């Protein structure tokens, strides 16, 4: 038997295939002559399962799709404060290649427009780095995110460099305000090489799923980025990832995303999956026409909107039952703040006749730090209310749970 998901994705591509509006980007000669027809989609779950259809293995250059990943790398290496002093995180509402800076701080508005991305590129590998070393660090990160070695499209890179007047102007502006130190030419060379790294939709789904998975690459299991770096990067994608259409995108599609002029589009739902599409014709805002349609349809048909209310933790208490001398409180699912709140509510709303209360977490899949803290606090209160307490935790989901008075709850087997 086979999963219906690949079939769904194949059928989804057919619903947009006939759409021929939009134009391939024409300001870089090599992109202007690109085949406008490829159409591919890939989905990578945080579990590492990948579903893909159409031209999901056709290589294309990252272009602006590189921006969130290099931003994440800068955050990881330099820390949030250093990055924040170089680039803001407000949507600019302007074209991607606008020559603009924040009026008060003289910083680029955000890392998803070219001014911000050129500045962020300069943060990689230290200020003294050569272009070659900096670019190699970036290529190395992209490869770890993809789970395979990536290379450059050299001819596209040099074609873009021959027509880089706009980005050179931006780099000169950044240098005149002291945002970057390198020569404008070197800054643009480094940024353009970052844009010229080649991937496929299949690679990109895993790369962006890594952000959604809190920094662990779903296929290789390697921790590439820290969770707080991923959270910040996704937050900036959600407010500024879709050129000047970012507000409408979040309302209609609701998936933090980034598009690029070569026709790539990536998006992720935290804790769930990464998505990538490839279709080179772009709308007036510079976003892939058919890629946008695919994202809209996936969001609507598969309920993939970030703002969909997903009840978490309402059924965290599976049962409360008498077992011999004990009352056993059986918990299930993921224990976070909301789940712990509902557990506390169930426990403290009643009086138990048994002398011992057993918290059974055999059916719990994960406990976050808040969940652990609140469970520990509940156990202590139960003990202070006069009950004996114990935990049943054969998989050690609670690890070594220490209560705030320094004691532990005894463990019971079975």
Interface residues toward ligand GLU, by CB under 6 A:
63-64, 96-97, 114, 160, 167, 195, 260-261, 286
Q: How many H-runs (helices) and E-runs (strands) does the chain carry? A: 15, 11
Q: Show the CA angle centred on residue 45, arms to residues 15 and 135, nearest 5°.
A: 95
Q: How far is the CB of 188 from ligand GLU (least distance, A)?
A: 9
- Residue 299's contacts (CB-CB under 8 Å, 6 or more residues apart) are 252, 253, 254, 255, 305
* Residue 64 labeled ligand binder: yes
Check residue 322 and report its DSSP letter. E
325 labeled part of a ligand binding site:
no
Residue 366 β-bridge partners:
334
Give the residue among 254, 298, 293, 252 at the shortest CA–CA distance from 275: 298
* Cβ 194 to ligand GLU shortest distance, Å: 8
DSSP letter at 406 equals S
Q: Which is nearer to ligand GLU, 51 or 96 (CB)?
A: 96
* Cβ 117 to ligand GLU shortest distance, Å: 7
- DSSP track, 231-269: HHHHHHHHHHSSGGGHHHHHHHT---EEE-TTSEEEEEE
Q: Which is nearer to ligand GLU, 62 or 375 (CB)?
A: 62
Q: State in angstroms the smallest separation of the CB of 321 from ligand GLU.
A: 58
Q: Output 288 or 378, the one with its CB closest to ligand GLU.
A: 288
Cβ proximity to ligand GLU: between 68 and 260 the closer is 260
Q: Find out whether 191 is annotated in a ligand binding site.
A: yes
- Residue with Cβ nearer ligand GLU (114 or 122): 114
How are the residues of the chain apportioned to helix, strand and coil, as percentages rounded to the nearest 5?
A: 40, 20, 40
Give the nearest distance from C-beta 166 to ligand GLU in angstroms. 7
Task: Using the structure block, give the residue that is written with the tokens 């006069």.
Answer: 386
CB of 63 to ligand GLU, least distance (A): 3
Closer to ligand GLU by Cβ: residue 64 or 299:
64
Closest by CA position to 316, among listed 298, 299, 334, 304? 334
Contact 107, 90 (CB under 8 A): no
Please indicate if the annotation marks 114 as binding a ligand: yes
Residues making up the binding site: 64, 114, 160, 167, 191, 243, 261
Residues making up the binding site for substrate: 64, 114, 160, 167, 191, 243, 261
């Amino acid at each position: 038997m086979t999963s219906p998901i690949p079939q769904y994705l194949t059928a989804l591509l057919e619903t947009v295939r006939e759409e021929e509006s939009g134009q391939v980007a024409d300001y870089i000669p090599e992109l202007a002559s690109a085949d406008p027809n490829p159409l591919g989609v890939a989905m990578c779950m945080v579990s590492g399962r990948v579903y893909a259809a159409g031209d999901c293995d056709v290589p294309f250059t990252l272009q602006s799709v590189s921006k969130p990943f290099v931003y994440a790398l800068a955050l990881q290496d330099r820390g949030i404060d250093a990055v924040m002093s170089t680039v803001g995180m407000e949507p600019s509402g302007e074209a991607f290649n606008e020559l603009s800076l924040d009026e008060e701080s003289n910083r680029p508005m955000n890392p998803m427009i070219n001014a911000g991305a050129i500045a962020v590129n300069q943060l990689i590998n230290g200020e003294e780095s050569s272009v070659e070393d900096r670019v190699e660090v970036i290529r190395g990160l992209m490869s770890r995110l993809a789970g395979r070695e990536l290379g450059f499209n050299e001819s596209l890179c040099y074609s873009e460099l021959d027509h880089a007047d706009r980005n050179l102007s931006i780099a000169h502006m950044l240098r005149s305000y002291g945002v970057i130190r390198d020569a404008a030419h070197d800054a643009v060379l480094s940024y353009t090489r970052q844009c010229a790294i080649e991937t496929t939709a299949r690679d990109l789904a895993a790369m962006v799923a890594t952000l959604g998975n809190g920094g662990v690459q779903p296929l290789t299991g390697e921790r590439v980025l820290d969770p707080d770096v991923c959270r910040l990067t996704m937050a900036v994608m959600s407010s500024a990832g879709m050129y000047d259409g970012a507000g409408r995108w979040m309302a209609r599609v609701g998936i933090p995303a980034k598009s690029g002029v070569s026709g790539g589009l990536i998006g992720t739902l935290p804790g769930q999956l990464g998505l990538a599409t490839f279709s080179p014709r772009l709308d007036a805002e510079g976003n892939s026409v058919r890629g946008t349609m695919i994202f809209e349809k996936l969001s609507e048909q598969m309920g993939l909107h970030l703002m969909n209310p997903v009840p978490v933790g309402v059924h965290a208490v599976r049962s409360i039952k008498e077992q011999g001398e004990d009352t056993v409180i059986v918990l299930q699912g993921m224990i976070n703040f909301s789940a712990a709140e509902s557990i506390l509510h169930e426990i403290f709303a009643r009086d138990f006749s048994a002398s011992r209360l057993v918290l059974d977490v055999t059916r719990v899949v994960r406990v976050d730090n808040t969940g652990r803290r609140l469970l520990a606090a509940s156990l202590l209160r139960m003990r202070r209310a006069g009950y004996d307490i114990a935990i049943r935790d054969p998989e050690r989901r609670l690890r070594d749970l220490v209560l705030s008075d320094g004691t532990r709850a005894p463990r019971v087997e079975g």
